[in-house]
Amino acid sequence: MKIFLALFLILINFSLVKSQYTETINSNRPGLSQGAFSVGKDVLQFELGFRNTNSKNQSFNDSKISSIKYLYNIRYGFLSNKLEVFLEGSYNNDEVDDLVESVNYNNYFFGKQTLGLKFLVFDPFKNKKWHNVNLLSWKKNRNLKLVDFIPAISIITGINHMPRNGNDFDDPFYVFNKKSLFEINEKSINTKVGLITQNHFLGKWVFVNNLTFDRLGTSYLILNYTTTLTHNFKNPRWSSFIEYELIKNDIYSNNFFNIGTAFLFNQDLQVDTSFGINSKKTPSNINFNLGISTRLDWYEDELPINKKERKSQRKERKKTGEKIKKDLKLEKKQKKINIKFDRKENRLIKKNNRKNKK
């Protein structure tokens, strides 16, 4: 049993040192935040969701919008385990019950589309002194340590495209402002940047924070802050989360509270469900979500690089190269000497032949 435990702890330590690629799927769902780690080099991941939202706004005579969103986030890790590119967006079907003008209609449109990059700047799990494994004590490996409060840090950047009929400024009721004195047209192309932190506590808790500045290059910058706490149960296939999201902007501000759970079918497939509400009445919002995450895994292990060995190999190659150059120079010099000698020898032979003829 002790041997098995020791081997198991070694495997855990190895996976923490590698840190970016995981044997099981690493999905951002069901929460709205992004984790600090990428999907891993040569991994293509699909995170798909269905969201049903019911909103009501007191500012517009309690007008209602029932929305169905088909969400997608396509992620691909490339060049290294620290870098990924992602495409995130939605397709929306809004049923609008306009009690201001007493009309009812449907809107079908693509929501905001974002093409972005995420890069892992700092990975605390690379430091073996901070995250070493005690092979003799399972309990000590599960104790809370000060170094656990040092987060993994990533940065994200991206380009947003807002389709013509999309919800400007993330406000579902902005459709009521269109063609009115309050309409402010959002730029169809703008940018975003963000900071991500991720902490792991006690082997079962993951704490993620996202701070994003959206719509850069416009007059109405949007601040988005999301904090997510995830818990893994004794059955490692099950996990749950609670989450808070703040949207702050001069046009539209809101905050949301979300809870949910996820189930891991196998190492490449996860399903999830979640529920969310907000604390405002302009508008009020209740949403229900279902999702699935899957991946195509072409990742191949890369052997760890021994820097000292690599340095000595470079020196050896350099010495070998210098020796080859020296040998080539000597060979060329010897060829010249041989050619001169052959010429002299030929002259002497010809001279002797002439003498013999006489």
The helix (run of H) or strand (run of E) holding residue 245 is strand 238-248
Closest CA to 57 of 44, 68, 69, 66: 66
- Average the pLDDT over 285-302 and give the result: 90
C-alpha–C-alpha distance, residues 242 and 237, integer Å: 18
Q: Where are the alpha helices (DSSP H) in 106-259?
A: 138-141
Residues 288 and 313 in one domain: no
Of 11-25, 26-40, 331-345, give the lowest mean pLDDT range.
11-25
pLDDT greater than 50 at residue 13: no
C-alpha–C-alpha distance, residues 233 and 231, integer Å: 6
Q: Say if 358 falls within a structural domain.
A: yes
Range(s) of the domain holding residue 261: 25-131+143-297
C-alpha–C-alpha distance, residues 40 and 19, integer Å: 9
The model's pLDDT over 237-288, given as tens digits with 9 standing for 90+, comes to: 999 999 999 999 888 889 999 999 999 999 999 999 999 999 888 889 999 9
Tokens 């989360």 belong to: 241
pLDDT at 27: 94
pLDDT bucket at 171, cuts 50 / 70 / 90: confident
Of 93-107, 117-131, 297-311, give the lowest mean pLDDT range.
297-311
More confident residue, 131 or 122: 122
- Average the pLDDT over 180-188 and give the result: 67
Considering just the CA atoms, what is the radius of gyration of the chain in Å? 32
- Which CATH number does the domain housing residue 46 bear? 2.40.160.40
CA distances for 131 relative to 5, 12, 18, 139, 142, angstroms: 17, 11, 12, 14, 11
pTM: 0.75
Cβ–Cβ < 8 Å for 76, 91:
no
Residue 105, CB-side half-sphere exposure with 13 Å CA sphere: 8
Residues 49 and 179 in one domain: yes
- Average the pLDDT over 139-151 and give the result: 77
Residues 198 and 333 in one domain: no
The model's pLDDT over 321-350, given as tens digits with 9 standing for 90+, comes to: 777 877 778 888 888 888 877 777 777 777
Residues 312 and 287 in one domain: no
- Ranges of beta strands (E only) in 253-305 are 254-266, 269-278, 284-297
More confident residue, 328 or 66: 66
Q: Say if 13 falls within a structural domain.
A: no
- Average the pLDDT over 65-78 and give the result: 95
Residues 244 and 121 in one domain: yes
Tokens 């063609």 belong to: 179
Question: Looking at 297, 324, 345, which one is the last position of a domain?
Answer: 297
Residues 237 and 352 in one domain: no
Closest CA to 283 of 182, 173, 184: 173
Closest CA to 229 of 255, 184, 181, 197: 197
pLDDT at 22: 79
pLDDT greater than 50 at residue 11: no
* Pair of tokens at residue 200: 């792991």
More confident residue, 339 or 197: 197
* Pair of tokens at residue 335: 């060829």
pLDDT bucket at 198, cuts 50 / 70 / 90: very high
Q: What average pLDDT does the chain have?
A: 84
pLDDT at 136: 58
The helix (run of H) or strand (run of E) holding residue 190 is strand 189-201
- DSSP lists the bridge partners of residue 192 as 158
pLDDT at 282: 86
Residues sharing a CB contact under 8 Å with residue 292, sequence separation 6 or more, in sequence order: 47, 48, 49, 269, 270, 271, 272
pLDDT at 306: 63
The values of phi and psi at residue 186, to 5°, are -85, 145
- Average the pLDDT over 85-90 and give the result: 96
pLDDT at 2: 42
Highest mean pLDDT among 16-30, 101-115, 174-188: 101-115
Residues 123 and 261 in one domain: yes
Say how many domains are in the chain: 2
Residues 123 and 258 in one domain: yes
Residues 321 and 293 in one domain: no
C-alpha–C-alpha distance, residues 170 and 214, integer Å: 11
pLDDT at 303: 59
CA distances for 80 relative to 100, 195, 294, 321, angstroms: 54, 19, 20, 31
pLDDT at 140: 63
